[in-house]
């Protein structure tokens, strides 16, 4: 359970961005969370709300887009989705697979005034 640490890092970036851009209120926070980022969206949302309380971020909507796990096989040059969290290429069975999505924990956009 390290969602509180993640939420704190998120707030550091939000505070910094608010200062830089002269925002007095944040209304939307848009993130991309990989399926394998070891983050539980509900839990992150809870921590976000706790930290937002009494700040200019209170009431902001945290929008999380979950990014599916996907990979690229170097042996047969195939892109694939890995819904079962398998890491072997479904086409050739090879293991020389680079993950192309599913590990991200990105803050994409802030909306505010």
Partner 1 sequence: MKKTINLATEVLAKNRDLAEDNRRLFAERNIHAFNMISSPGSGKTTLLERTLTVLGDAVSMAVIEGDIQTDNDAARIAATGVPVVQINTGGLCHLDAAMIRRALEEFDLEHLRLLIVENVGNLVCPSSYDLGEHEKVVLISVTEGDDKPLKYPGIFRKAGVMVVNKIDLLPYTDFSLERVRANALSINPKLEIFELSCRTGEGLEGWLDWVRQRAGAGPA
Task: Scan residues 27-86 and list those touching partner 1 (CB under 8 A).
Answer: 27, 31, 36-39, 85-86
Q: Minimum CB separation from partner 1 for residue 110, in Å?
A: 5
Q: State the DSSP H helix or E strand holding residue 41, giving kind and residue range, or none if neither.
A: helix 41-52
Out of 13, 61, 76, 92, name the contact with partner 1 by CB under 8 A.
13
List CB contacts of 53: < 8 A, sequence separation 6 or more: none
Residue 31 bridge partners (DSSP):
64, 107
Contact 22, 55 (CB under 8 A): no
Which residues are at the interface with partner 1 (CB under 8 A)?
A: 1-2, 5-6, 9-10, 12-13, 17, 21, 23, 27, 31, 36-39, 85-88, 95-96, 99, 104-113
């Amino acid at each position: 359970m390290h969602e509180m640490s993640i939420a704190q890092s998120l707030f550091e970036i939000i505070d910094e961005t608010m200062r830089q851009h002269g925002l007095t209120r944040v209304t939307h926070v848009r993130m991309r969370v990989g399926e394998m980022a070891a983050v539980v969206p509900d839990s992150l949302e809870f921590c976000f709300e706790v930290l937002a309380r009494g700040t200019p971020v209170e009431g902001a909507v945290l929008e999380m887009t979950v990014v599916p796990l996907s990979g690229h096989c170097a042996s047969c040059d195939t892109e694939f989705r890995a819904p079962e969290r398998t890491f072997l290429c479904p086409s050739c069975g090879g293991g020389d697979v680079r993950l192309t999505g599913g590990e991200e924990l990105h803050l994409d956009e802030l909306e505010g005034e």
